[in-house]
Structure 1
Amino acid sequence: MAIVVNLDVMMAKRKMSSKELVEKINITNANLSILKNNKAKAVRFSTLNEICKALDCQPGDILEYVEDDE
């Protein structure tokens, strides 16, 4: 996939645990894990909004486009 989710990097920069983020944005631990492990096929803007609010960051701090090696 060409879009990489750097959620774990931003969480580390903000010193926020998965448990804290799950509680702040009202998402399941399983769904957060899917996002952190680049297994998500999509992310809702409302979820992205809540993540950015909780981590005080921009969407570009979390999502990154990387060329596919073909």
Structure 2
Amino acid sequence: MPIIVNLDVMMAKRKMSLNELSKKVDLTLSNLSILKTGKAKAIRFTTLEAICNALDCQPGDILEYSDRARKTTNQ
């Protein structure tokens, strides 16, 4: 998938654990883990807003589009 999730990078920059972020955004650990590993198929804007608020970042800090990733999976 050409969308890369950099949630783990932002969490490391903010020195925040998955447990702590889960509590701050009111999301289960399993759902947050699915998002963090890039296995999620969608994300609600309200969830993205809560994550950005908790990590003090922009959506583009968490989500990235990579044409290279798309080309690699299509080969």
| TM over 0.5, shorter chain | yes
Alignment partner of 1:7 is 2:7: yes
Whichever structure has more helix as a proportion of its residues is: 2
1:54 equivalent in structure 2: 54
What are the equivalent positions in structure 2 for 1:1-70 lying under 5 Å apart? 1-67=1-67, 68-69=70-71, 70=74
Runs of 4+ deviating beyond 6 Å:
none
Q: What does the per-residue CA deviation read over 1:11-66, in whole Å, with 9 as the maximum and x for residues that have no partner?
A: 00000000000000000000000001100000000000000000000000000001
**Structure 2 residue ranges without an equivalent (≥5):** none
Helix, strand or coil: the match of 1:35? helix
Q: Which is higher, the Rg of structure 1 or of structure 2?
A: 2
Distance 2:22 2:14 in 1: 14
Q: TM-score, normalised by structure 2?
A: 0.91
**Structure 1 residue ranges without an equivalent (≥5):** none
Q: Size of the alignment, in residue pairs? A: 70
Cα RMSD of the aligned pairs, angstroms, is 0.5
